Amino acid sequence: MEEGVVNEILQGPLRDVFDSKQLITDISGSGNNWAVGHKVFGSLYQEQILEKLRKSAEHCDCLQCFFIIHSMGGGTGSGLGTFLLKMLKDEFPDVYRFVTSVYPSGEDDVITSPYNSILAMKELNEHADCVLPIDNQSLFDIISKIDLMVNSGKLGTTIKPKSLVTSSAGAVKKRHQKPFDAMNNIVANLLLNLTSSARFEGSLNMDLNEISMNLVPFPQLHYLVSSLTPLYTLADVNIPTRRLDQMFSDAFSKDHQLIRADPKHSLYLACALMVRGNVQVSDLRRNIERLKPSLQFVSWNQEGWKTSLCSVPPVGHSHSLLALANNTCVKPTFMELRERFMRLYKKKAHLHHYLQIEGMEESCFMEALSSLSGLIEEYNQLDATKSMPVEDFPRLSVAM
Amino acid sequence: MVSIRASVKNKVLETTGHMECDFTQKKLFILSHGCLCFWSSYSVHGPRHEESIMNLIQKEVEKCDSLSGFFIIMSMAGGTGSGLGAFVTQKLQDQYSNSLKMNHIIWPYGTGEVIVQNYNSILTLSHLYRSSDALLVHENDAVHKICAKLMNIKQISFSDINQVLAHQLGSVFQPTYSVEGSCHYRRNPLGDLMENLVPHPEFKMLGIRNIPQMSENSLAYSTFTWAGLLKYLRQMLISNSKMEEGIDWHVRPPLSRLPTLGKASLNRELQFNTSIANLVILRGKDVHSADLGGFKDPALYTSWLKPINAFNVWKTQRAFSKYEKSAALVSNSQFLLKPLDTIVGKAWNMFASKAYIHQYTKFGLEEEDFLDSFTLLEQVVASYCNL
C-alpha cells in the first residue's frame, strides 16, 4: 500500500520483474493494524484487485496455484494479504493457495504484531491450502552463519563478483547494511526450489498441487516447516558443494530450518524432499533409509515420504535439496504467539485501534484465539500418540 | 500415450525420434496438468477427456489387421497413471468388450515415492480387478535389486530400471513358435498368455522372472546350460525369489500326500510359493533339449488344476538380446500375496485414522467407495492365501 516502498522497488534492479499494470498503491500504509489492512483497504480495493487478478488468470493455459508472500506482524501484509486469500478462495476455488508467511520474531519492533498475527492465523487456518511459516530470526541466524563461513576463510574461497547485493565492491559490508536483502534471498530460493519441478524436466516430477495432496493429511494441519541446503548457495558464494549425503543430513538439522523449530525431536506427519541436480533415485532412497531411524513418523504414515527429482540444478551449483516437513515442531511457535497475544489482550492494550474500525468487534479476537487454540490442540493430540506403541487397526475379515 | 505434461511429451518425442517406432505427435494425448490422486483422474479428468482419448485409440485399432488385445502400461502409486489407466481400462471394457485387456502395473517402492500411494494402489487394483483380464506386475523394489545386485549399477537411475523392465517384457512378448517343431510364429501371444495363465477370474495377478540377467562384463565369463537355468528358475518360483541371487534353497515343495486343507497352512509355514499356472519361455540354442520335468510336478500347483493344464512352454531357437540361452517364467502364483497384504494393511491403518480422506472426498469419492475397494482386495488376499 505504501507508495514509497513500491517506488523504491521500481527504481531498483528488479524493476523489470514486476508488471506495472499489476501494482496497487495507496498513500499511507495500514499503520500496523490488521483491521485497517483487512477491512478498510480490503473493501476499498476489492474490485481493483479482483480485476487485475482476473486479467492475469485469463492469460494462463492452466492455472495451478497462487503464491501469497506476506508478513504476519504488520497491517498490510497481514490484513490485506489474508483478505486477498479469502478472495482467491471465493473466486478461484479450484486453484491452490500457497502462502509464505513471515512470522514475527520475539524481538520485533511492532507492538501489535501478536494481534495482527493471530487475526491473520484464523484466515490462514480457514482459507490457505498450504502455509510455509518463516521467521526473521532464523533467516538472520542463517545469514550470520554464512558470513561466519565466508569471513573465517575456512573454505578458502572468494566471493563471486556479482553477489546477491547489487554492488560488487564491499559486498559483505553492504550485506550488513541491507540484511533484509540477504534474508529475502533465502525465501526467494525457497520458492524457486519449490517450483523447479514444475518448471523444469526431471525423472520424478512433482506438481505444486501434489505438495498439498501428499503433505496435508488433515485440512487444518497444513503448516510446513521448510529447510534448504546447501545454505551457502543462498549467499551466492563460490564454495564447492559438499557431499550429497551431507546435504541430506543437513536438511534435518535445526540450524537449517527457516523457522525456529527442531523437527528431528518432534513428530512427522509427512515429509517431502525436492532434489535438484544430478541426483539419482538410488541416492535418494539410500539417504531416506539412512535418516529414517532417527526420525519419528506418525503411526499411520511410517513411510510418509514424498520425493521429487528435477534434473536442473540451481545456478552455479551441482545439486540442492528443499525439505518440507509437516511436523508438530511448529506448535511452539504458535504457542508462543498465543502467549504474547494473551499478555496484550488481558490488559486490552491497543485494542481500541482495532475496535474503532467498522466491522471489528471483540468477538473477532475471541474467534481468532479459539481457532489458534483448536489448531494447537490438534498438534497436542498427535504428539500424545508419539509415545504410544504402534498398533495396527483390525482388518476387515472375509468369509471364505 | 496419455501424459500429464508437455515436458514429458517432448522428452518422449526426442528419445523416440531416432528409433524405428511410431511415436508421433498425433498419438500423444496431453493433459495440461498433473492429476493429484487416483480419484481426481478417474472421476474428473478421465470423463472430461474421454472422447479424445477413445478417438485416439479407435484410430489405432482401425489400423490393425487383427486386434489381439490391449496392453496398458501404468503405475499405481501416483495420480495420472493409476486413475486414467483404470478409467481407460473401464472404457475399453465397455467399448471393446470382446478384446482382451492386460494391464502392466508398476508396483511402487515400499517406501518414499508418493505418500498416498497405498490409497491410490488399492483404488487402482480394485477397479482393475473388475475391468481388466490380467494384471502383469513389476515391483520397483525387485527391479531395483536386480539393477544393484545383478547388473552391478552403482547409481541407479529410472532409465536403468526401465531397461530391465523392457528386457523382461521383451523376453515374454518377442515371437515364439506356435507349436513344438513348427516354423510358424505364434499369432496371438497376448491371448495365449492369458488363456494359459488366467483360468479363473479371481486370480489375475501375474509376475515375470528372467534368467540370466547380468551386466555385459559378467556375461563374457559365463556359460549356460538349460539344466542349470531351469533349476534356478524353478527354485526362484517356489521360494518366491525375484532374481537368481540370494535364492533360498531350503524351500522345498511339500509332500503331495497331505489333504488339501492341511497343505495350504503347511505351505505358508514353509514359505512355499504355490502356483496356479506357469508359462516358461525358452529362447536360444538347443532349446529342444531342455528338460522341463521340474515344472510339471503337481506339488507346485494348487489342487484344482492339473499340471497338464497349469503348465505351458513356448520355445524359439532365436536367442534374445545378448544371451545365448535365456528363460523367462510368467507365473500366476502367490508371489504378490505379501506385498498386496502389506499395501492393504497400510492403507487400512491410514483410512482408520481418517488421514488424507478429505483429499479424495473433495473429488467426489466417498468412504463407501474406499470400503468397497478394501473388501474386494481382502477377498483377493484370502483367495490367494488359501491356495
> What CA–CA distances, in Å, run from B281 to B99, B242, B284?
24, 17, 10
> Is the confidence metric ipTM above 0.85 for this complex?
no
Which residue is listed with cell 552463519?
A145
Say whether residue A200 is in contact with chain B using an 8 A CB cutoff. yes
User: Which residues, at least 6 apart from A27, have a Cβ–Cβ distance to it below 8 Å?
Assistant: A2, A3
| Residue of B110, B156, B374 lying closest to A281 (CB–CB) | B156
Cα A171 vs. chain centroid, distance in angstroms?
Answer: 27
β-strands A267-277, A305-310 pairing: parallel
Does position A81 have pLDDT exceeding 80, yes or no?
yes
Contact check, Cβ <8 Å, B115/A306: yes
Angle between helices B117-131 and B337-352 (to 10 degrees): 120
Query: pLDDT value at position A254?
Result: 86
Per-residue pLDDT tens over the stretch A86-132: 999 998 888 899 999 999 887 777 888 899 999 999 999 999 999 99
Q: How many CA atoms lie within 13 A of B316 on its CB side?
A: 18
Query: pLDDT value at position B357?
Result: 92
Say whether residue B95 is in contact with chain A using an 8 A CB cutoff. no
pTM: 0.84
Does position A270 have pLDDT exceeding 70, yes or no?
yes
Percentage of chain A beyond pLDDT 70 is 83
Residue A326 dihedral angles phi and psi, to the nearest 5°: -95, 100
| Residue of B109, B115, B383 lying closest to A304 (CB–CB) | B115
Residue A99, classed as helix, strand or coil, is strand
Query: pLDDT value at position B20?
Result: 46
CA distance A374 to A351: 23
Cα A124 vs. chain centroid, distance in angstroms?
Answer: 12
Contacts of B37 in chain A (CB under 8 A): 213
How many A×B Cβ pairs under 8 Å? 120
Which comes out higher in pLDDT, residue B328 or B27? B328
Mean residue pLDDT across chain B: 83
Which comes out higher in pLDDT, residue A129 or B256? A129
Q: Report which residue type is found at B79.
A: G
CA distance B157 to A68: 36
CA distance B283 to B316: 5
Residue B219 dihedral angles phi and psi, to the nearest 5°: -60, -40
Reported confidence tier of residue A168, pLDDT bands at 50, 70, 90: very low
Does position B193 have pLDDT exceeding 60, yes or no?
yes
Residue A319 dihedral angles phi and psi, to the nearest 5°: -160, 165
Q: What would the grid cell of residue A125 be?
A: 487456518
Query: pLDDT value at position A171?
Result: 41
Contact check, Cβ <8 Å, A307/B112: yes
CA distance A59 to A281: 36
Contact check, Cβ <8 Å, B114/A62: no
Contact check, Cβ <8 Å, A203/B354: no
Sign of dihedral through CA atoms B43, B46, B48, B51? negative
Question: Are the CB atoms for A194 and A281 separated by under 8 Å?
Answer: no
Mean pLDDT is lowest, of A40-44, B139-143, B263-267, for B263-267
Per-residue pLDDT tens over the stretch A297-322: 998 888 888 889 998 888 877 888 99
CA distance B198 to B135: 10
